[in-house]
A and B are shown apart, each in its own frame.
Chain A
Amino acid sequence: MKKVGIAAAGLTKFTKGDNTSIESLMGYAVKPIFDTASNLEQRDIEAVLTSTNANNKYLANIMSELCGISPKIAHSVESLCNSGTNCIVSAYAYILSGLAKTALVIGAEKTDSPGLVLEWDKSRGQYKHPIYWSSMFTSAHMRKYGTTLENLAYVSAKNHRNALDNPYAYFKREFSLDEIMESKNLTENVRLLDCSMPCNGAGAVLLASEDIITKFTDMPIWITGIGQKSISAGFTKNNDLTSMSSSVYSASNAYEMSDRSPTDVDVAELHDAFSICEIIELEDLGFIKKGGGADYVKQLFDTRDRKINPRGGLIGTGHPLGATGIAQTIEIFQQLQGTAGRRQVNNSKVGLVHNMSAASTSSTVLILES
């Protein structure tokens, strides 16, 4: 099987939101790719895929025109919060099939995204806001494993601290455990600082076949494993609320495809939409045994270990839905290239991206290698 790699990446700062258009956000994420990728010309790009929950029509074609590209393939990919990695997987498939040798993947979202709440889900009743599914996972994990509000606060404290070294992050300050514990109670077990924040932001990556990738970079990062799973769209079909079954499936498939195991992973971006998510995901992805996630997070915090969510995760960096999976992938790309600056996890050779949607009713896991 031919290899597909990431050649270049671009990000915008994640901000509170203004009148900037989706097209403009996307454009500012693409520009660094053309600024940094060697020998890259518009005619090299054979597919342009856009990732967003915004209602903009014909967006990939519009972005192609705005960037002076006339691709063979141009369309949008939407899957709520894991639109970004779905878009990367689609680009991977186009390249592997031979339909395109290169693909530009661009994701962006605005603070007022229509993707923040899944109105379709009748089973959520009047509790459609994501804080309610988060509260249900939290209740279940607390009961089964004795997880505490302080355990949750460590996730937020760690990821806000990591975000301090991320120049693109929404948050630019550290929060103490006390500040997090005393932040506004949204439910009995979800506080404001346990939540990721919707924001404006964009990210872009250039994928290419191994036949051509060295034209654009001498440090390609390969996508060696992909796992995706959709168990449902409605939240209430995840039977065991101490686990996210789509994430378990996705991770298992990605590990199998890459012939890697959790112990091989040097650095990972996990989808911490809420504090409880990182704890459950650490367990579901096999980094620690079930029930051990909270202690593992505290250990990472106490030792200042950046292995998990070095850019600050969604909680510290912000969560522009359609850009999130791409920004997570860019972090692992930079970590494996050794270009992550103060966030660098030394000697990273194997990285993992976990991106999920709508209470983890669907998930994507990517394994990347240098």
Chain B
Amino acid sequence: MTRFEQELKNNNFLCSQCTKCNKLVWPPNDFCNKCFSNVVWRPVSRFAKIVEFSSNDKELFCIAEFEDGIRVMGKVENASGLKVGQSLLLTKCDYDEKEIFIFRPVSQV
């Protein structure tokens, strides 16, 4: 298991940040994809907004955008009547052969 996956399993959503230009590098990588400098791990803010959403018989799922344009697909719980642009909180992340992101709506960030 990679460091990223292990951290997800511990409910920590991390990405890489460049030590020179401060860019957040997503998906995480060994060096910055803008200036090729070294990176360090840093937590991503758990607040996000809905870019798009849909559902199946079991659940609502969405593309959520965090700070700096970091986007992931995840499940939305405790929600109805979702809207694009709506604020979300990442309530849980995990790793079980796949990355798992679980959100709930929040009234405002």
Contact = CB atoms under 8 A, between A and B. Distances in A.
A, B bound: yes
Interface string A170-189: 00000000000000011111
B54 A136 contact: yes
A126 interface: yes
Contacts of A140: 52
B95 to A, nearest CB: 10
A125 B56 contact: no
A138 B51 CA distance: 13
B71 interface: yes
What secondary structure prevails in chain A residues at the interface with B? helix
B4 to A, nearest CB: 7
A189 B63 CA distance: 16
Given A125-B73, A126-B75, A185 B54 contact: no
Contact of B4 (A122, A126, A128, A189): A122
B72 interface: yes
Contacts of B100: 125-126
B26 interface: yes
A122 B16 CA distance: 14
A123 B54 contact: no
Contacts of B54: 132, 135-136, 138-139, 187-189
Contacts of A237: 71
Contact of A187 (B27, B52, B55): B55
Interface in B15-74: 26-28, 51-57, 61, 63, 71-74
Contacts, number: 67
Interface of B: 4, 26-28, 51-57, 61, 63, 71-75, 84, 98-101
Nearest to B2: A122
B55 A125 contact: no
24 contacts: A122-B4, A123-B26, A123-B27, A123-B73, A124-B73, A125-B73, A125-B74, A125-B99, A125-B100, A125-B101, A126-B74, A126-B75, A126-B99, A126-B100, A126-B101, A135-B54, A136-B53, A138-B54, A139-B53, A185-B57, A187-B54, A188-B54, A241-B51, A241-B52
A43 interface: no
Contacts of A139: 52-54
What secondary structure prevails in chain B residues at the interface with A? strand
A236 interface: yes
A187 B56 contact: yes
B73 A132 contact: yes
A130 interface: no
Contacts of A2: none
Q: Which 5 A-B pairs have the closest CB atoms?
A: A236-B71, A135-B54, A127-B73, A125-B73, A126-B98
Nearest to B62: A136
A186 B55 CA distance: 9
B81 to A, nearest CB: 14
A186 B84 CA distance: 22
A187 B61 CA distance: 10
B8 to A, nearest CB: 9
Interface string A150-192: 0000000000000000000000000000000000011111000
A123 B56 contact: no
A124 B62 CA distance: 10
Nearest to A186: B56
Nearest to A128: B98
B56 A236 contact: no
Nearest to A242: B52
A162 to B, nearest CB: 28
